[in-house]
Chain A
Amino acid sequence: MSGPEKTQQNGAAHKKDDSAGVFAMSLFAAGISVYVSLFVGWLVLPELLYSRQHQPIDFNHAIHMEIVDGCTSCHVFREDGTFAGTPTLAQCIDCHEEVQSIEPEPGDEDYEVRLAQYLDEVKFVEEYVQQGKEVPWLIYSKQPDCVFFSHAAHMTSHKFKVLEGGKIGAPPVEFEHGEEPEDARCNMCHMAFIDGEAVPFGEAETLPLYRRNWITTYPIDIWGRNISGFNDHYYDSAKMDDCAQCHYDQRNDHQGQDACFVCHK
């Protein structure tokens, strides 16, 4: 009759040992899981969720800004007040019917950069201009079909104020003699993210990597590069809440909200 008793006792002691082990194991497992899920959520997900695409041509905004007069010289408004977005071949062809730049020689200053630029122009002229084919640009700020965005309203309205550094909640910029440079408004929403840094498009010598969400197909610029969704600049992201935030901030009285049929169609 002792057999079973002994076994029972041993079992209890063993159980105590074992429960500590199990507790430790459980803690460990929980810890690992917390770590893994945080790791996956914060670091792996952003990498997996978005594509990495290069533009067909690495357009150099900075060079072009030297010879034109502001963003709307190329990103034009049509006569009916609508915004044409990316320029079409017809606008480029005046200068780029033939290759403009000179092929750099090895040993030249910035040889590699200049060679890349030269090759890009050759590609542009040969594959697009001469074929009469529009460049399939990847649009960073492409909004979904349900959105109606009026560039005309934002570019002409007196209600629109440029805020310091494009920072959320920052005070409005006082321009000298009230003369507001055109790109100040553009830069409120459009910035080029190059190597983690926000650069005004007009100063960018290269085009940012284009990243598209695999699930939504929206470009990363809509949600923003911070996977948490928290942003401190207006240009960081362009979801509906971001638009609403700016519309709210731009009101003197901080009262009321716009109707859906302002930005939706």
Chain B
Amino acid sequence: MGETQGHGHQEGNGHAQGSKYGMVIDLDKCTGCGACMVACMAENNVPTKPDETNKLDTITWMRVFKLSNGKAFPEAETCYLPRPCMHCGGKHDAGHSPCVSVCPATATDYSYKTGIVSQIYTRCFGCRYCMGACPYKARYFNWWDPKFPADMKEYLSPDVSVRMRGIVEKCSFCFHRYQRAMDRAFYEGRELEEHEYQTACTQACPAGAITFGDLNNERHMVHKVVNDKHEGHAVLQGRKPFRLLEELDTNPKVYYLSARDWVVKAGNASLRETSPADKKPSGGHH
């Protein structure tokens, strides 16, 4: 067993020094196939009900939305937009995520070490304030007990707790994969590699549309894409990464790419509703 020095920049308590895990989703590559959604369900022990057509009570940590440009046939265009939890850091990544700020039970908190917003099921008592606070509707309530009929509980993963009725759950950026990867890194006495901690959706996406990693780590692809520092690769092709509802200062960690102007506008009310002249400078977290 090796001796570990912790892992580099994650050492220390200062907010600025930690990792900041985030995602870039290329909407031009995303085909809306739904593999990310089911990969997430299979990874995170999400149950299924016989009728899941009421989309208000169906639990999908990762949900693929369909955007439309609102034009009539044959000028209509559509675009799929996968929406995990945005793991908002709040202003200056101080941890004032909309949901964390309102939780009366400290069942959800912000980690300065990873930038991940947690959800602790045994602590949650189901008041659903966080659901009201989340502007991305990324949180889901368990209206019923989870059911795994026939032998379907045989495939449940021990890495993620099965949730009970009456509590809220959401995407964790597959934090258990970080825990597992860290176990190995500790054991082998080395730092975590970029490829070792990837979310289930990133891994599954057949189009390779999702990039996941540490936004604070210069060697990670997400950092390069978000900060336009990628070398040689025409990843961006003039596309600017954007985030959803950036004007709310939620400071989300999920970035999107699209060459289509209407898609970029659809993702951001401030771009949509205000003219550039009277637009207030918003956030500026790039």
Known A82-B183, A152-B183, A152-B186; judge A146-B112 contact (CB<8 A).
no
* Beta-carbon nearest neighbor of B185 in chain A: A81
Do B118 and A158 touch (CB < 8 A)?
A: no
Q: Does B189 belong to the interface (CB within 8 Å)? A: yes
Do B111 and A253 touch (CB < 8 A)?
A: no
Binding-face segment, B3-11, B46-54, B65-73? B3-11
Q: Does B179 belong to the interface (CB within 8 Å)? A: yes
CB distance from A80 to the nearest CB of B (A): 5
Do A259 and B110 touch (CB < 8 A)?
A: yes
Q: Does A131 belong to the interface (CB within 8 Å)? A: no
Do A264 and B118 touch (CB < 8 A)?
A: yes
Q: How far is the CA of A265 from the CA of B163 in the complex (A)?
A: 11
* Beta-carbon nearest neighbor of A145 in chain B: B161
Do B1 and A156 touch (CB < 8 A)?
A: yes
Known A81-B188, A153-B183, A156-B2; judge A146-B122 contact (CB<8 A).
yes
Q: Does A111 belong to the interface (CB within 8 Å)? A: no
Do A260 and B120 touch (CB < 8 A)?
A: yes
Do A150 and B186 touch (CB < 8 A)?
A: yes
CB distance from A57 to the nearest CB of B (A): 25
Do A255 and B187 touch (CB < 8 A)?
A: no
Interface string of B1-35 (1 = CB under 8 A from A): 11111100000010000000000000000000000
Do A261 and B13 touch (CB < 8 A)?
A: no
Q: Does A28 belong to the interface (CB within 8 Å)? A: no
Known A146-B121, A255-B13, A261-B175; judge A159-B183 contact (CB<8 A).
no
Do B159 and A265 touch (CB < 8 A)?
A: yes
Q: Does B207 belong to the interface (CB within 8 Å)? A: no
Name the contact of A81 in the complex, choosing from B120, B123, B186 (C-beta under 8 A): B186
Q: Does B182 belong to the interface (CB within 8 Å)? A: yes
User: Which A193-210 residues have a C-beta within 8 angstroms of B?
Assistant: none
Q: For chain B, give the interface size range.
A: 35 or more
* Beta-carbon nearest neighbor of A265 in chain B: B176
* Beta-carbon nearest neighbor of B2 in chain A: A156
User: Which A208-265 residues have a C-beta within 8 angstroms of B?
Assistant: 253, 255-256, 258-262, 264-265
CB neighbours (8 Å) of A2 from chain B are none
Q: Does A144 belong to the interface (CB within 8 Å)? A: yes
Do B111 and A153 touch (CB < 8 A)?
A: no
* Beta-carbon nearest neighbor of B178 in chain A: A261
Do A158 and B4 touch (CB < 8 A)?
A: yes
Name the contact of B6 in the complex, choosing from A157, A255, A262 (C-beta under 8 A): A157
Do A256 and B13 touch (CB < 8 A)?
A: yes
Interface string of B98-123 (1 = CB under 8 A from A): 00000000111111111010101111
Known A81-B188, A145-B161, A156-B3; judge A150-B179 contact (CB<8 A).
yes
CB neighbours (8 Å) of B5 from chain A are 158
Q: Does A77 belong to the interface (CB within 8 Å)? A: yes
Q: Does A128 belong to the interface (CB within 8 Å)? A: no
CB neighbours (8 Å) of A80 from chain B are 180, 183-184, 187
User: Which B117-147 residues have a C-beta within 8 angstroms of A?
Assistant: 118, 120-123
Do A265 and B161 touch (CB < 8 A)?
A: yes
CB distance from B282 to the nearest CB of A (A): 28
Task: For the A-B complex with A157-B186, A259-B110 known, give 13 more contacts whose Cβ atoms are closer than 8 Å.
Answer: A77-B187, A81-B184, A144-B122, A145-B162, A148-B179, A150-B186, A152-B186, A156-B4, A256-B13, A259-B109, A260-B109, A260-B111, A265-B176
A-B contact pairs, 11 of them (CB 8 A): A81-B184, A81-B185, A144-B122, A146-B121, A156-B4, A157-B4, A157-B186, A159-B6, A258-B113, A259-B118, A265-B175
